[in-house]
Amino acid sequence: MSHGESAPVPGRPGGWSGLGGWNLYFLLKLALFWLGYLNLQPLPNLVFAAVLLFPLGPRSLRILRNLLAIPVAAALLYQDTWFPPFTRLLNQPGVLDFSGLYLLELLERFINWQLCGLLLLIVVAYIYLRQWLRLTTFSLLGLAWLGIQPVLEMAQPVAVAQVRTEAPAPAPSAQANAEPDSSMLDGYLQDFYGRESERVVDFRGASEPVAPFDLVIINICSMAWDDLEAVGLRDNRLLQQMDVVFDHFNSATSYSGPAAIRLLRASCGQGAHDSLYQDAPAQCLLMDQLQSLGYSNEAVLNHNGQFDNFIGDIRAQGQLPLAALDTRGLQRSVIGFDSSPIWRDRDVLGGWWQRRLGREDARVAMFYNTTTLHDGNRTVLPDGGTRRGDYRELANRLIDDLTVFFEQLEHSQRRVVVVVVPEHGASLHGDRMQIAGMREIPSPSITHVPVGIRLFGMGVERGPAPQRVSEPSSYLALSAFIARLHDANADATLPVLLADLPVTPWVAENAGTVVLDYDGIPYVRLKENGIWLPYPARFK
């Protein structure tokens, strides 16, 4: 007889056998919670344990209960992870377009071999200890202790609870001593959107510039400060060439289509994700504003733009015609995560610039999007084969290509303003809520992107290092800078152009998921009207 649980009591149907083998399930979850891998919810687990403990008579009923409990246990385990709801993945039709090699690569990332080794040790310890200890007692005590914690928190002094119920302040720092609850953060979010809806950059009063200039917006997929830090490229030569660098720029989303829409709507304050797919006022559309000032607008891509209807997004939101581009002579340097071709950035940009020099337009505004760094891309080898793309190698190649483009612009001696603004990061590290490369949740490490501005032939004196914008910023600041530059007189200086640019508190949102910064702490809400949780710190 096993010493791990009580023996059945004669005369009592089914007797009392404890949790039996289900102890391993609960003890593993408690261990994972203690290690920080789970956000274990006590009440559902206690209810599940109670159902498993309820005495049943016939052995067939106990077997049936165990069979029915298996899918419930799996669903409960996923619910206890930091991962977003599984339905969110099913709602991403683009997943079906991933190449087989990329799907295999993503599967490999889900396997944490160190954690697997640790869990194996726990299983071995369980097999040995169940002979000597009543493990059901440990399982239930562990779950009960977790369940008591909310009650203990509610028993805190009344003064703290009163502070939590106050209306959200315009700036979270005003409540520095209060830990916000979900209703407080909901109120802060609505207050943020309310203030942002009133902000707009008006180009209508802009006068004719002293001399016309071209505007080139380079929208880079998958480049965040966190990614550059991970591969030792934080202080790369591309950023060193900039005249202005935004140190705390928030892309406000972690997906390409929404990021492009937000950039094309840069002249208005930051709206909720749902508003991106509704008609926007004409005054919000940056490229439309520029067109009203005499710019010829166009879009250029180094990819086919078909994935997730990216072309449709920029056409619908920016009315941007795609520039005529003959891809037959372009070098296919990378194969995309969806098996589509990605052309070398220097070839695409260089070809566009030569075409621009042959045009008589006084001023052109060009939106360029590159997916060279996208997760899952494969590098094309000299023999025509491919290998898994290395982020550092591809980032260096992109930096080299943009440097060559900058040299072409400088050599032309034309007046050109280049704005480099990434869509989002690559999530090279991953964290407790999502594996490396996954961007379903717009965490700060993904949306904190390096934004730079370079002025060619504009008569602005360059310093030994870029001017830094240290305030929290987003797209509205870029629109304001462009408007000021258009309306500036000949002797305008960078400090004047950068003074008092719009500051935007940190809020990022995807469909159904919001992350915001409150008093220096990121909080995440995984579904509308759901609860807010502090975003879990990354494992070191």
| pLDDT given for residue 369 in this prediction | 96
Return the closest-CA partner of residue 224 out of 250, 260, 262, 243. 250
Residues near 154 by beta carbon (within 8 Å), at least 6 away in sequence: none
Structure token pair of residue 82: 């930091």
What is the chain's alpha carbon radius of gyration, rounded to the nearest angstrom?
28
CA distances from 454 to 244, 291, 297, 462, 498 (A): 7, 21, 20, 10, 13
Q: How confident is the model at residue 505 (pLDDT cuts 50, 70, 90)?
A: very high
pLDDT digits (tens, 9 = 90+) for 358-384: 998 999 999 999 999 999 899 998 888
Q: Please state the φ and ψ torsions of residue 435, each to the nearest 5 degrees.
A: -70, 170
Scanning 326-474, the segments in alpha helix (DSSP H) are: 345-357, 391-412, 444-447
- Highest mean pLDDT: which range of 24-38, 80-94, 165-179: 24-38
Range of weakest confidence among 149-158, 188-197, 443-452? 149-158
pLDDT digits (tens, 9 = 90+) for 292-334: 889 999 999 999 888 888 888 888 876 777 776 777 778 788 9
Q: How confident is the model at residue 210 (pLDDT cuts 50, 70, 90)?
A: low
| pLDDT given for residue 6 in this prediction | 43
> How far apart (Å, rounded) are the C-alpha atoms in residues 105 and 115?
19
CA atoms within 13 A on the CB side of 226: 20
Q: Is 279 helix (H, G, I), strand (E, B) or coil?
A: coil
| pLDDT given for residue 155 in this prediction | 53
**HEC-encoded secondary structure of 481-499:** HHHHHHHCCCCCCHHHHHC
To the question of pTM greater than 0.95 for the whole model, the response is: no
> How far apart (Å, rounded) are the C-alpha atoms in residues 349 and 518?
40
Helix axes 59-80, 42-53, angle to 10 degrees: 170
> How far apart (Å, rounded) are the C-alpha atoms in residues 375 and 390?
10
Q: Please state the φ and ψ torsions of residue 288, each to the nearest 5 degrees.
A: -65, -40
Count each helix (H run) and each strand (E run) in the chain, helices first. 19, 15
CA distances from 375 to 42, 223, 258, 426, 476 (A): 36, 11, 18, 6, 28
Question: Is residue 381 within 8 Å of 374, Cβ to Cβ?
Answer: no
**Maximum distance among all alpha carbons in the chain?**
99
Structure token pair of residue 161: 């609870």
How far the first Cα of the chain sits from its last, in Å, is: 45
Question: Is residue 267 within 8 Å of 201, Cβ to Cβ?
Answer: yes
Sign (positive/negative) of CA torsion 236, 242, 248, 249? negative
Q: How confident is the model at residue 86 (pLDDT cuts 50, 70, 90)?
A: low
